[in-house]
């Protein structure tokens, strides 16, 4: 699979170019268009319980769509829900990646997509208590809200990042979730004030906009969902 990005960094679209008969896994609802003859099958990835964990706990769709190119090859265009940039992770079989809620878009069929526990405190926050873990070999596409920044940490180097701005981080990076201000109990319910402490070596991908901030702005201006 080859990935060709366009309309970045503001409204990224990724074209997944497939060899004859090659499959690719795509987050449900992320497909924009395909070449003629590409087939699709949607199923509960990894069985019912694992798919339930992805949906209810990890913030992803219950179903994962597998697109397969015909004998002459083909392509699939995928796009995220929110405007922003895209990044291609090239997994080498040694280092995996943890991806936060809603940021995984697509990956080669040789990449395993699982749900991983992200910390007890995070269960009460706005970001959900689980992460999507990618492992294996091949390309994976992650999306962000706004522009993408790459933080490269050296061994023993630390950085603190708000949970709403974290897109993904490598397995080599150590992480710890905590409250920025331990005296504000409300942050456990709303997600406000929760931060990740990361320690190198490895990379952390961040987004310049926070989806939680967008939700807050919509509600404050009377544009949120009504019951």
- Close Cβ partners of 79 (under 8 Å, ≥ 6 residues apart): 11, 12, 13, 14, 30, 32
CATH class of 2-223: alpha beta
- For 38, the token pair is 């590409």
Q: What is the pLDDT of residue 216?
A: 84
Q: In this structure, what DSSP letter does residue 55 have?
A: I
Cα–Cα distance list, 111 to 11, 92, 94, 138, 188 (Å):
25, 10, 12, 6, 33
Q: What are phi and psi of 218, to 5 degrees?
A: -60, -45
pLDDT in tens, 97-141: 999 988 999 999 999 998 876 554 443 334 445 688 999 999 999
| Residue pair 170/202 in contact by the 8 Å Cβ criterion | yes
Q: In this structure, what DSSP letter does residue 155 have?
A: T
> How do the domains of the chain map onto residue ranges?
2-223
pLDDT in tens, 208-220: 999 988 888 888 8
Q: What is the pLDDT of residue 217?
A: 87
**pLDDT tier for residue 1 given thresholds of 50, 70 and 90:** very high
Global pTM reads 0.83
Q: Is the dihedral of CA 68, 32, 44, 212 positive or negative?
A: positive
**Does residue 62 surpass a pLDDT of 90?**
no
The label of the residue with tokens 């990042």 reads: 161
End-to-end CA distance of the chain: 43
β-sheet bridge partners, residue 152: 203
pLDDT in tens, 36-53: 999 999 875 544 445 445
β-sheet bridge partners, residue 199: 158, 174
- Close Cβ partners of 191 (under 8 Å, ≥ 6 residues apart): 125, 126, 127, 163, 164, 212
- For 18, the token pair is 């497939």
35-52 burial: b if 16+ Cβ within 10 Å, else e: beebeeeeeebeeeeebe
């Amino acid at each position: 699979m080859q990935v060709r990005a366009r309309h970045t960094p503001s409204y990224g679209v990724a074209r997944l170019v497939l060899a004859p008969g090659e499959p690719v896994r795509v987050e449900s609802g992320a497909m924009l268009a395909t070449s003629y003859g590409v087939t699709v099958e949607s199923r509960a990835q990894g069985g019912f319980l694992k798919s339930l964990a992805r949906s209810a706990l990890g913030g992803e769709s219950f179903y994962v769509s597998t697109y397969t190119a015909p004998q002459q090859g083909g392509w699939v265009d995928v796009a995220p829900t929110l405007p922003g940039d895209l990044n291609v992770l090239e997994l080498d079989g040694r280092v995996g990646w943890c991806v936060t809620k809603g940021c995984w878009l697509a990956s080669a069929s040789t990449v395993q997509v699982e749900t991983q526990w992200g910390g007890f405190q995070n269960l009460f926050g706005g970001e959900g208590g689980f992460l999507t873990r990618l492992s294996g070999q091949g390309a994976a596409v992650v999306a962000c809200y706004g522009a993408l920044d790459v933080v490269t940490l050296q061994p023993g180097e630390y950085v603190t990042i708000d949970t709403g701005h974290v897109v993904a981080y490598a397995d080599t990076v150590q992480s710890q979730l905590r409250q920025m201000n331990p005296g504000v109990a409300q942050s456990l319910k709303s997600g406000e004030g929760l931060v990740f402490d990361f320690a190198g070596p490895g990379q952390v991908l961040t987004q310049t906009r926070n989806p939680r901030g967008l939700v807050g702005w919509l509600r404050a201006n009377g544009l949120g969902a009504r019951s």
